[in-house]
Amino acid sequence: MWVTSRGFDQYRCFGDAITFDTTYRTNLYDMLFGLFVGVNNHFQSIIFGGAMMRDEKEDTFKWIFKEFIHMVGGKHPQTILTDQARAMELAIEAELPNTVHRWCKWHVLKKAKESMGVLWSKNSDFKMEFHKLVHHMITEEEFEAGWQQMLERYSLKKHPFLTQIYEVRHKWAKPYFRGVFCAKMTSTQRSESANHMLKGYVPPWCPMHLFLKQFEKLQFNRESEQSFQEKRTLLIGVSLKNNLPLERHASKVYTRAMFEKFGEELYKCGAHVLDEIVPRKVYRSTHVDAAAREKWSKVEFTIEVDDEESFFSCECGMFEHTGLVCCHALQVMVHFLLSKIPEKHIMKRWTRDANDVLPAHLVRYQKDRGPPSSDTFRHHTMYTKALECVLLGDSNVKCYDVFMTMMKEVQATLLPLSAEKDGMGLAEREHQNQVLVEEHPGELQVEGGSTRPACDGETSCSGIIG
């Protein structure tokens, strides 16, 4: 089992939702190869790591999940998608107790095709209706009503396969995961597509050393594709279809791929009518073709706005599920004449700065936090010197080893001395400024008793104070 350095870095930024699949098998060693796959901010499949397996027993899966989490730094994913293997399910419950385990919809559809016989023919109405239930249902009530209607229409109330999967619907049905973040992944097809790509690089009969070499080649090519998307986002302009302030803001915040998905939701706003229930608090969005839709289909959605008008909660649950604002909430934002997407509705993993993630105690230095509100000569001098050392340490492997050794010594020396604070550190100053801002909204207290306007997020508010 292994995780590359690139996979480690990617997991740090995009390890909130992952898939695991064991489709690929090597004939030479008769071993299964499992892939941990996620999705990046360009909505591309990324490979975190892989494992070769002799069997698919519970203890084997336990070891794989335990070692994988250890190798990526100990962070558990919010959600994991797998097939319906019982041994894997038990292993996830044991090793990832706080992770939501979801079954792959692709496997559910595959088993339906195998079990439903002639009902699953090419132009079958049943097949189309089953796909609607799997892909398009939003609420539990919608799903329950649609399922019962399907059973009655085709006289399938006692069908063993449908009875079995209905009993475990909480594992695969979309409405039961409305509040669970899945990064727009609803299937292990990302793992399976990665396995398919692997087959194009690695013949099943190849020996281990060739397998690893070709796997590295696959990783390199995937990274090249990601680099292309990075350049596409930075260099190629976007086309504004609605020319709204929200759309312009989204084009600056999101990657090109995610901006296009945002645009799709903004376009859908035109298919809904907005009614105000409680002024500036509660709204109802209704589909314009409500009468023509299926009778079980939900056509009205309630959107609630918090007191600060900074979060727009829609009962469809799309934001919680995918990290993108739904068309219903966007409709209310447009009604409010907002020029920017509220900060609480911007999930960093979909933005241009998604890779800029630091540990919690260093989050102040992330690009999206902007310049410090109160820098000091002491902090500025040390920060510059540290960057110079990083530049030198990155020259070659020997420089890196020396740098890391000396930094560990410096950290060990400073740690006990840093327990005593003199109040002049950047963290202390920013905390003092934050307290003053809360006590005196609209003004920011600085040294000497003078005041200046609080930072508006558009202009630089930093300054070096000796």
pLDDT tens, residue by residue, 293-325? 777 778 899 999 999 989 999 999 999 999 999
CA-based angle 299:141:152, to the nearest 5?
Answer: 100
Q: Two tokens at 458?
A: 């558009």
pLDDT tops 60 at residue 141 = yes
pLDDT of residue 29: 67
pLDDT band at 459 (very low <50, low <70, confident <90, very high): very low
Question: To which H or E segment does residue 409 belong?
Answer: helix 397-417
Cβ–Cβ under 8 Å, residues 69 and 94: no
CB-based contact 324:318 (threshold 8 Å): yes
Tokens of 408: 């560990």
Residue 179: DSSP 8-state: T
Distance of alpha carbon 219 from alpha carbon 49, whole angstroms: 10
Give the lowest-confidence range in 220-224, 336-340, 456-460: 456-460
Report the C-alpha gap between 242 and 416 in whole angstroms: 57
* 122 confidence band (pLDDT: 50, 70, 90): low
Strands (E), 8-121: 17-26, 31-39, 45-53, 79-82, 100-103
First and final C-alpha spacing in the chain? 52
Mean pLDDT value of segment 2-20:
91
Q: Could you tell me if 320 and 179 are in contact, meaning their C-beta atoms sit under 8 angstroms apart?
A: yes
Band of the pLDDT at 90, cuts 50, 70, 90?
very high
Mean pLDDT of 390-397: 94
- What's the rounded Cα separation, in Å, for the pair 314 and 94? 34
Residue 4 above 80 pLDDT?
yes
State the average pLDDT over residues 246-258: 94
Dihedral sign computed on CA atoms, order 346, 349, 350, 356: positive
Q: For residue 127, what are its two tokens?
A: 């097949």
Contacts of 4 (CB under 8 A, 6+ apart): 49, 219
DSSP string across 209-243: HHHHHHHHHHHHHHHHHHHHHHHHHHHS----SS-
Contacts 24+ apart (CB under 8 A), 166-169: 168/103, 169/143
Phi, psi of 136 (to 5 degrees): -115, -5
pLDDT digits (tens, 9 = 90+) for 426-436: 878 777 777 77
Residue 4 in tokens: 């590359």
| CB 240 within 8 Å of CB 248 | yes
What would the pLDDT profile of 270-288 be if each residue is shown by its tens digit? 999 999 999 999 999 999 9
